Amino acid sequence: MSATALAERTRTEQAPAGKPPTTAARSRVPALLAAPTLAFLAVFAAYPLLYILGLAFTDSTLARPLQRWTGFDNFRTALESQSFTGSLWRTTAFAVLTALLQLLAGTALALLLRARGRRPGLLGTLLLLPLVTPPVMVGVAWKLLLAPTGGALNSLLHDVGLPAVNPLGSAVPAFLTLVVIDTWQWTPFVMLLVHAALLGVPDELTEAAALDGAGPWRTLRSVTLPAIEPTLLSVLLLKLVIGFKVFDLVYVVTSGGPGFSTTTSTFDIQRTALQEFDVGSAAAATVVFSLLIGAVAGTVALRRKRYEEYA
């Protein structure tokens, strides 16, 4: 092969197969990859939100939605309703109380499991049983347990010679009973998340604290809890949102009673829309309720963000 032919073959092999993509072409790739996700969000998130806003500002019923523009009349009706405004306070109290109780109980259980080893074992599996039970079945079981006549609790009290009780028959005990039931069901969820966070805490930290003379409580307060604080704040935020959305438990156990003492916002909105057929007011109440959830959740999220900035 001559020197000229060899040089030509070398140039051919080293030449690029094609032109490199332009900047405009490269910039279109992320948009094309994100297009399916954006379409999904548009259909399943943006459209329902816009539809609820449309219902909130119009005269709407189940049979005839989006009939006449009413401005803020539906919001005024919702905020003037003592049932709805009272439910906002009750729902906030329920969400905050259950979230705090479950965070404390779940963290304590997670610490106990972690002290037993890295695997939860049979005890951890048994503790998860309330979590995997359907919420409706949880409500039915507790309602049968607390039934004033023939319930397991009153049967036990009768056997030991104590008077019967009816915790669902008055306002404050009924509300606290819902708190206890929700805590019983969701504490294993918190325990599971916190236990996973504890597994990520290096053993070297606790060993170094022990070498420095720190006892178990000092190690817990100064080493373990600060290491999992971001997870604790995330779990608190998640449980607040879940607590605000409670519906099935109220529907099965108390149906919002006695009176309106256990009527949560979700239950009141459902009753307004499906029993009173006032979909416009129910949609306006939903918007107000969503803003309340956003305000409470945003406060916790801001606290978590500040912790990450200063950590």
**DSSP helix/strand/coil, 69:** strand
* Range in 105-119, 185-199, 267-281 the model is least confident about: 105-119
Q: How far is CA 302 from each of CA 101, 292, 305, rounded to the nearest angstrom? A: 21, 15, 5
DSSP annotation of 19 reads P
Residue 29, pLDDT score: 73
Percent of the chain with pLDDT over 70: 89
* Higher pLDDT, residue 68 or 304: 68
**Which tens digit of pLDDT belongs to each residue from 243-270?**
999 999 999 999 998 989 999 999 999 9
Q: Is the pLDDT of residue 3 over 60?
A: no
Q: Is the pLDDT of residue 301 over 60?
A: yes
Q: Report the distance separating Cα 105 and Cα 102, nearest Å.
A: 5
* Nearest-5° Cα angle at 54, 47 to 292: 85
**Which tens digit of pLDDT belongs to each residue from 205-216?**
777 877 777 777
Q: Which residue has the tokens 């109440």?
A: 285
Which of 92-101, 150-159, 193-202 is modeled with the greatest confidence? 92-101
Q: Please report, for the chain, how many H helices and E strands are present, in that order.
A: 16, 0
